[in-house]
Chain A
Amino acid sequence: MRALTSAETDSELFALVIALGRERGIELTVAQLEEIVRANRRAWFERWLAP
Chain B
Amino acid sequence: MKRDGWVPIRLVWNGSAVGDGEAFVDLCWLGDERFTEPFFDATIENALRRPFNRLFTHRTPIAELGRWYAASPGMAPAGFIFHMSRCGSTLVSQMLAALPENVVISEAGPLDRLARAKSIPEAVKAEWLRWMVSALGQRRSGQETRYFVKFDSSTVLALPSIRRAFPSVPWIFLYRNPEEVLVSHLRQPAPAMCPGLITDVAAIDAPMNEVLSMSAEEYAARVIGRICEYAALRMDECGMLVNYTQLPEAVWHSIALRFGVKFSADELVRMRNVALYDAKRPRQKFEADGESKRLEVSDAARAAAARWISPHFDELERIRSTADIP
> Interface residues, chain A, CB within 8 Å of chain B?
4-10, 12-14, 17, 33, 36-37, 40-41, 43-44, 47
Contacts and interface: CB of A to CB of B under 8 A. Distances in A.
Contacts of B12: 47
A2 to B, nearest CB: 9
Contacts of A37: 54-55
Nearest to A36: B55
Given A5-B5, A5-B29, A5-B31, A10 B10 contact: no
A13 B57 contact: no
A7 B51 contact: yes
B57 A12 contact: no
B54 A12 contact: no
A38 to B, nearest CB: 9
Contact of A40 (B5, B50, B57): B57
B8 to A, nearest CB: 14
B286 interface: no
Interface in B170-225: none
A4 to B, nearest CB: 6
Contacts of B263: none
B29 A40 contact: no
A47 B31 contact: no
Contacts of A41: 54
Contacts of A14: 55
Contacts of A36: 55
Nearest to B10: A47
A5 B56 CA distance: 10
A12 B52 CA distance: 10
A17 B55 CA distance: 10
Contacts of A10: 51, 54-55
12 contacts: A5-B29, A5-B31, A5-B52, A6-B52, A7-B52, A12-B51, A13-B52, A36-B55, A40-B54, A40-B57, A44-B48, A47-B10
Given A5-B5, A5-B29, A5-B31, A13 B51 contact: yes
Nearest to B199: A51
A2 B52 CA distance: 10
Nearest to B109: A51
Given A10-B51, A13-B51, A40-B55, 6 more contacts: A4-B56, A5-B31, A5-B50, A6-B31, A8-B51, A40-B57
A34 B307 CA distance: 56
A33 B10 CA distance: 24
